[in-house]
Amino acid sequence: MNVGFGIFQRGDGHSGTWQDRSVPGSQCFALVNFVRPMPSSKSSVHMMADRSLHVLVTGATGKQGGTLLRQLKARGHRLRALVRDPTTPAAKALRAQGVEVVQGSFDDPSSVEQAAQLVDAAFLMGTPFAGADVERKQGISVIEGLRAAEVPFVLYSSVASASQHTGIPHFDSKFAVEHQLRTSGLPFAIVGPVSFMENVVAPFALPGLRQGTYGSWVPADKPIQMIALEDLAAFDTMLIEKASRFRGQRVEVAGDELTPVQVASVLSQRIGRPVRLQVLPLEGIRQQNPDLAKMSEWLGQHGYTVDIPALRHDYPEIGWHTLDDWAGEQDWNRLLAAA
C-alpha cells in the first residue's frame, strides 16, 4: 500500500530501513484482465506569481521540499534552501538551478535563524527517521530559530489527522510541533497531507512492483486517502502566496481515496501488466517498526477523513490528481527497469 511507505525513506533514496523484505503470512490478490488507457495530462498551475517572494525551504533536497521548491521557482519566487551538507550532489543541483543554498540543521536553531534572515516566508517540514521524539525536538528547535529571525510567515507541513490524538508516535510529534508553532507568536499556516501517491514508487516499493506486487499495510477493502506531491506543492505554494488569507489556518489535503484492491487495479492498467496486491500482516510490521505498525493499525481501523469533494470545489486551480491521473503521468518503463 502507499500510506506511510515513504515515512522512513529520503527522496534521494538514502536511509531505507525495512522495505524490500516480504512479510511472512501475507495475503495475495491476483489482478488480471487489464487494459492500458491513454496517459492523462494533468498539470499544476505554473504561471508567474503577481509578486516575487523570498522563501526559505527546508527539506529542499527531499520529496516535499524539492517539489515545492521547483513550483515556487517556476512562479518566479526567490529561493533559499537550508541543507545539512552543501557539498552533496542534491545540494549542488539546487545551486545549479539558481537556488541560494545555506548550511544548517534542524538541530541548530542559530543556523536556522541565520538561514531565515530577511525572507518573506519559510516552509518547514520534519522527519521522524531518527525517532518521533527527535522530530518533536527538532521542530521546536527550528521554530525557535524562525522566531529569532522574525519570519513573517511560516508554513508547516504536518500530517492529516495529527490533531486527533491517534497515538501514532510520528503523528503526535508533528502535533507537538504544530502546538509550538501556534504558541510561538509567529504568523503561520499548517498543511496536513495524507499518504503520498509517490510511496507507490518509493525505493522500498519498487523492487516489489518490478516483480508485479503492490504491498499494502491496510486491509484489501479499506479505503485510503492519498495525494500527489505536485498537488501538495501547488497547495503549499498557494498558502505561501496568499499568506494573509490563510494565516492561522490548518488545512488537510488529499486528492483521491481508493482501497488497496483498487490501487493495484489502477497500477495494473497503467503499467500494462498484472499487479498483485499483497496485504502485509500487522505483526510483521510491528516487529520491524512499532511506529509504522501503529499507523498501519490506525489506518485499517480509522483512516484519514479529508473532505476531498470540498477541496476540489474550493480549490479547482490545484488540478487535483486522482491516482489514475498520477499513474498515467509516470514513466513506468524507466521506473520498472531493473536497478
Residue number of the CB atom closest to ligand NAP: 62
Cβ proximity to ligand NAP, 61 vs 166, nearer residue? 61
* Least separation in angstroms between CB 47 and ligand NAP: 25
DSSP assignments along 175-217, one per residue = HHHHHHHHTS---EEEEEE-EEGGGGGSTTTHHHHHTTEEEES
The 10 Å Cβ neighbour count of residue 309 is 7
**In 3D, which of 118, 190, 160 has the Cα closest to residue 254?**
160
For residue 48, the minimal CB distance to ligand NAP (Å) is 25
Q: How far is the CB of 32 from ligand NAP (least distance, A)?
A: 28
Residues that bind ligand NAP (CB under 6 A): 4, 6-7, 9-11, 58-65, 83-85, 90, 105-107, 125-128, 138, 159, 170, 193, 195-196, 199
Nearer to ligand NAP, 38 or 99 (CB): 99
Q: Where are the alpha helices (DSSP H) in 242-278?
A: 243-246, 260-271
Quote the least distance from Cβ 70 to ligand NAP, whole Å: 13
Residues 6+ apart with CB under 8 A from 216: 1, 260, 263, 277, 278, 279, 280
What CA–CA distance (Å, rounded) separates 176 from 159?
A: 12
What's the min distance (Å) between Cβ of 36 and ligand NAP? 26
Shortest distance, CB of residue 227 to ligand NAP, whole angstroms? 8
Return the number of the residue (89 or 185) whose C-beta is nearest ligand NAP: 89
Nearer of residues 121 and 333 to ligand NAP, judged by Cβ: 121
Determine the Cα–Cα distance for residues 95 and 181; give it in Å rounded to an integer: 29
Q: Which of 91, 44, 96, 92 is nearest to 72 (CA)?
A: 44
CB nearer to ligand NAP: give 106 or 188.
106
For residues 138 and 268, which CB has a smaller minimum distance to ligand NAP in the complex? 138
Q: Which long-range contacts (CB under 8 A, 24 or more apart) does 261-266 make?
A: 261/29, 261/31, 261/220, 261/221, 263/1, 263/2, 263/200, 263/214, 263/216, 263/224, 263/323, 264/29, 264/31, 264/214, 265/31, 265/34, 266/323, 266/324, 266/327
Between 243 and 254, whose beta carbon lies closer to ligand NAP?
Answer: 254
Q: How far is the CB of 67 from ligand NAP (least distance, A)?
A: 8
